[in-house]
Structures are given as structure tokens and as C-alpha cells.
């Protein structure tokens, strides 16, 4: 079963989470909520895989998130 890494990165200026993947060409989604973004990714992956010529029965998705913030002390 193929596994795909989905990278979530917080865009401080736009105040949204951005989802991309090196394994799934065309995957670029954003949302203000990480939970909503996870759901959008789940629905987008089958369509994007089909557009890219892949037709697996099921896949594993690994979500990796990254958020950097400046803290004033």
C-alpha cells in the first residue's frame, strides 16, 4: 500500500495552513483550520492520484505539520 507524506506549514502572513506534498503533484491546499485542511486533503488525494495516472485501492497518509512563532519575553 503506497504511503504519501503531506506537509502542513503555517503561513503567518496569510494566517492559514498550507498543505503540499512531494509525492502528489498538484496538491496545494490552504485553510485557517488544520482539521478542515486534513479533511480537504483526504478528499483531494484520490482525484489527484487519478489525474496523475495512479489508481491504488487505498493509501496511507502521513501528516507532518510545522509552525514557527516568535515569542516576546
pLDDT in tens, 20-29: 999 999 999 9
Per residue in 26-43, is it b (16+ CB within 10 Å) or e — as a string? ebebebeeeeebbeebee
Q: What is the pLDDT of residue 47?
A: 93
pTM of the model: 0.87
Task: Check whether 1 has a pLDDT greater than 90.
Answer: no
Domain ranges of the chain: 3-66
Give 21-71 pLDDT, tens digit per residue. Answer: 999 999 999 999 999 999 999 999 999 999 999 888 889 999 999 999 889
Question: Residue 2: is its pLDDT beyond 90?
Answer: no
* DSSP 8-state secondary structure symbol assigned to residue 42: H
- Fold for the domain defined by 3-66: TTHA1013/TTHA0281-like (3.30.2390)
Amino acid at each position: 500500500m503506497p504511503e504519501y507524506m503531506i506537509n502542513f506549514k503555517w503561513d503567518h502572513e496569510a494566517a492559514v495552513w498550507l498543505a503540499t506534498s512531494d509525492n502528489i503533484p498538484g496538491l496545494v491546499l490552504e485553510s485557517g483550520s488544520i482539521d478542515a485542511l486534513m479533511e480537504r486533503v483526504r478528499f483531494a488525494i484520490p482525484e489527484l492520484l487519478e489525474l496523475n495516472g495512479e489508481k491504488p485501492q487505498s493509501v496511507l497518509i502521513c501528516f507532518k505539520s510545522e509552525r514557527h512563532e516568535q515569542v516576546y519575553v
